[in-house]
Structure formats: C-alpha cells, structure tokens
Amino acid sequence: MKSILIKLFWPVLGPFEKGDGPYSYKASSRSILLIVGVLFGGLSGGSLFFSIQKGEYAAFLPIVVFFGVALVCLVVGGLGSDRAVATLWGNAKSSRKGK
C-alpha cells in the first residue's frame, strides 16, 4: 500500500528525494513535520467550516494555502525517506556537478 501511495504522491515527494550529498536527519524532525501537517490541516478545515458557515468565500485562498502546506508536510513526513525530511528542513546538501 505504501508503494502505491508513494507513486501517487511522487509529484510532491520527487523534489525532496533528489540529491546524493550528505544530510543530517533526526527522528524528531519527522515527528514535528507530522504534527505541523495535522495543525495546518486543522487550520484549513476550520477555515473552510467557518467560511461556509458565514458565506464568505473570500477565504478560499488561505484555505488552499493551508491545505497545500498540510499536504506537503503529511506526505513527506509519512511517506518520504530520511533524505526527503532532511531536505524539507534544509539539512541536506546537494552535490551538483559544475559548482
């Protein structure tokens, strides 16, 4: 099942999985990433609920942004490799040829 989800979410995971340089990974980084994803998902859901309840559809942009952040955090935290988590946190070095 996990391999199917990885293939499904590869457009999100792909940019974070690239690279072959050294990286620094901590298990707490993945946990924090999942917690942040849940918090942004709740913020997106709450914004959607109150936007519909009040009839104010101008909040559509923040809802989409919060949902996008939640999706990236949950996908990388749940399905990504250690390198993907480190890349998202900015703890991975990319060894590009020519630089």
Kindly report the number of other CB atoms within 10 A of residue 8's CB atom: 12
34-56 pLDDT per residue, tens: 999 999 999 999 999 999 999 88
Mean model confidence pLDDT for the chain: 87
pLDDT of residue 98: 43
CB 76 within 8 A of CB 36: no
User: Please, what is the Cα angle at 21 between 24 and 16, to 5 degrees?
Assistant: 75
Closest-CA residue to 31 (of 85, 92, 69, 68): 85
Q: Dihedral of CA 18/87/70/34: which sign?
A: positive
> The pTM is what?
0.83
pLDDT of residue 59: 83
10 pLDDT exceeds 60?
Answer: yes
DSSP structural state of residue 59: G
Q: Where are the domains of the chain?
A: 30-92
